[in-house]
Amino acid sequence: MSDQDTAVLPDDDLPPERRPSEHRYGRAPVSDLPHDAHPVTRWLDSRLPVISTFRREYVTYPMPRNLNGLWAFGAFITVTLVVLLVSGLFLAINYTATVAQAFSSVETIDRQVSSGWLVRSVHMGGVSMFFAALYVHVWKSLWYGSYKAPREVLWLTGMLLMVMVMVAAFAGYVLPWGQMSYWGLTVASHALSSVPLVGGPLSDWLLGGSSLGDAALHRIYVLHFLTAFAIFGVVGLHILALHVTGSNNPLGIEVTSPRDTIPFHPYYTVKDGLGLALFALVFAALIFFLPGWLTLPDNYIPANPLSTPADITPEWYFAPFYAILRAGGPFGLVLSAGSLAVLFAVPWLDRSEVRSARYRPIYRWMLLVLLASAVLLGVAGFRQPAGVWLVLSRLATAYWLLHFLVLLPLLGRIEARPRLPASIAAHEGVAA
């Protein structure tokens, strides 16, 4: 190679964005690690900055100093996701995705594979723990207005995760090929087929035909673990978006100076760690003392296409959406999908400049009614859609849509603007 090949062009001959001084070429690699770090670590980090990136994003990273325990739920979901992926891999080793063997392979995991019962219990209980934490996480974001500018993309990646998580959970529930797996899939494929024009072909394409057999089960299996790993990738985007804006906080005002912040470590590693220990205790209680509490006994009966269960009910985390599906009659699918879809638009539907419900007295009440509606729909999902439960489901569905589509945009116009604290530090009484 001649000298000319390696020579760097003089800066002035290049447009600014292509000047060597503006990019990395020709510079000795440097590490952002402190100078007292081990020389080998610094050498490696200057070439592959994993440790310094982790340090910047999770050790010295400035966090608002006033976060409460609700901010630990993102960590709970992340850890539970890892638990689900690892336990799922162990289950996959022994699972057989055929109509003839799916049910018995799951029974074999439960009864004969060494510690198989534990792995399965962790996986099934983990899904319930995951959804419980996820719903609290979303609720916290609604309460404190964490979806508002500049965190809209953070919110959208979260909503994308919610949809993916629902797909993965539904697909996973089909895999044991028990009665509820089979009939749940039947309800879903009928609901999809009822969509005019595209529904039928789409359902056939996804499930490999109109009858539910090996082709459908295979596809559902692939869908299950594909979405599970894709979720992991999208969580990366979610965290990336979070670290661009930084976390919101209970006051809903932005960080204005370093006095408003404390480093992630040790303050929030310790706080999240304590929360995780408590979360793990509840998780353990569910696995070891109440393993069948949140699952439906009908799924321990092998799928029988000739015998429809008296009532087809979903797992608890789908119950509100199922109640809307059944309460809506011919519009059930549109309403159920719409009640989820409307959440995507929340950052633009809410016009108020104030984030936290702490300073929005009317919004606070509206959110509490919304929570009551969601709980009511959750209960209604397990009841026959008739009589008083049908009326209540319809009222709760109406409030859900009214809240997001009408009240939220209106409230931003009529709400009085409160006096917000000057800064987080001032509110917390931190000396200048």
Q: Give residues in contact with ligand HEM (CB under 6 A).
A: 71, 73-75, 77-78, 81, 134, 137-138, 141, 144, 146-147, 151, 154-155, 158-159, 161-162, 165, 231, 235, 238, 242, 247-248
Taking the complex as a whole, how short is the minimal distance between the CB of residue 138 and ligand HEM, in angstroms? 5
Q: Which residues are catalytic?
A: 243, 247, 271-272, 315
Is the Cβ–Cβ distance between 155 and 347 less than 8 Å?
Answer: yes
Is the Cβ–Cβ distance between 228 and 126 less than 8 Å?
Answer: no
Taking the complex as a whole, how short is the minimal distance between the CB of residue 245 and ligand HEM, in angstroms? 8
- Alpha-carbon distance of 116 to 113, in angstroms, equals 5
Q: Which is nearer to ligand HEM, 224 or 394 (CB)?
A: 224
CB atoms within 10 A of CB 383: 18
Tokens of 313: 């009910």
- Alpha-carbon distance of 239 to 389, in angstroms, equals 40
Contacts of 56 (CB under 8 A, 6+ apart): 32
Taking the complex as a whole, how short is the minimal distance between the CB of residue 290 and ligand HEM, in angstroms? 24
Amino acid making up residue 302: P
Q: Which is nearer to ligand HEM, 158 or 385 (CB)?
A: 158
Q: Which is nearer to ligand HEM, 164 or 402 (CB)?
A: 164
Q: Which is nearer to ligand HEM, 300 or 344 (CB)?
A: 344
Taking the complex as a whole, how short is the minimal distance between the CB of residue 63 and ligand HEM, in angstroms? 9
Tokens of 98: 């055929």
Closest by CA to 117, choosing from 282, 284, 287, is 287
Taking the complex as a whole, how short is the minimal distance between the CB of residue 124 and ligand HEM, in angstroms? 18
Taking the complex as a whole, how short is the minimal distance between the CB of residue 189 and ligand HEM, in angstroms? 26
Is the Cβ–Cβ distance between 130 and 77 less than 8 Å?
Answer: yes
Q: Which is nearer to ligand HEM, 219 or 243 (CB)?
A: 243
CA distances from 156 to 33, 402, 414 (A): 33, 21, 27
Q: Which is nearer to ligand HEM, 207 or 343 (CB)?
A: 343
Is the Cβ–Cβ distance between 421 and 253 less than 8 Å?
Answer: yes
- Alpha-carbon distance of 322 to 314, in angstroms, equals 7
Buried/exposed code over 49-60 (b: 16+ C-beta within 10 A; e: otherwise): bebbeebeeeee
Helix 152-174 crosses helix 179-193 at what angle (to 10 degrees)? 130
Amino acid making up residue 313: T
